[in-house]
Amino acid sequence: MIASIKEKLNKSFEWIDVINPTSEDLIAIGSKYNLHQSSIQDCMQPDHLPKYEVIGDMHFIICRYYDENCAKNADTIQDLTSKLAIFFNKEIIITIHRKELHLFNEVIKKYQNHPQTVDVVCKLIKTCFQSYETPINKLDAEIDFYESRIFLKKRIPDLLKSLYRIKRQVYVLRKLTNLSKDAIEKLAESQPKKNTFTQDLKDSYTKTDTQIEEVYDSINSLIHIYISLSSQRTNEVMRTLTVFTAFFLPLTFIVGVYGMNFRYMPELEKYWGYPSVIGLMLAITAGIWYWFKKKGWL
Instruction: Give the model confidence (pLDDT) of 8-61 as tens digits.
Output: 544 578 888 888 888 888 888 888 888 888 888 888 888 889 999 998 889 999
Write down all domains in the chain, each with its CATH number in brackets: 2-231 (3.30.460.20), 242-295 (1.20.58.340)
- The alpha carbon dihedral of 104, 106, 107, 109 has a sign of positive
For residues 77 and 72, what is the distance between their CA atoms, to the nearest angstrom?
A: 14
31 contacts 110 by C-beta, under 8 angstroms: no
In this predicted structure, what is the pLDDT of residue 56? 85
Kindly report the number of other CB atoms within 10 A of residue 129's CB atom: 24
Higher-scoring residue by pLDDT: 116, 214 = 214
Burial class (CB in 10 A: 0-12, 13-18, 19+), 61: buried
The pTM of this model reads 0.75
For residues 41 and 54, what is the distance between their CA atoms, to the nearest angstrom?
A: 15
Higher-scoring residue by pLDDT: 241, 80 = 80
- The alpha carbon dihedral of 73, 75, 81, 82 has a sign of negative
Kindly report the number of other CB atoms within 10 A of residue 13's CB atom: 21
Judged by average pLDDT, the poorest of 141-150, 181-190, 268-277 is 268-277
DSSP string over 159-173: HHHHHHHHHHHHHHH
Instruction: Give the model confidence (pLDDT) of 216-233 as tens digits.
Output: 999 999 998 888 887 777
Inform me whether the pLDDT recorded for 164 exceeds 80.
Answer: yes
Instruction: Give the model confidence (pLDDT) of 90-138 as tens digits.
Output: 888 899 988 777 777 778 777 777 778 888 899 999 999 999 999 999 9
Judged by average pLDDT, the poorest of 26-30, 179-183, 292-296 is 292-296
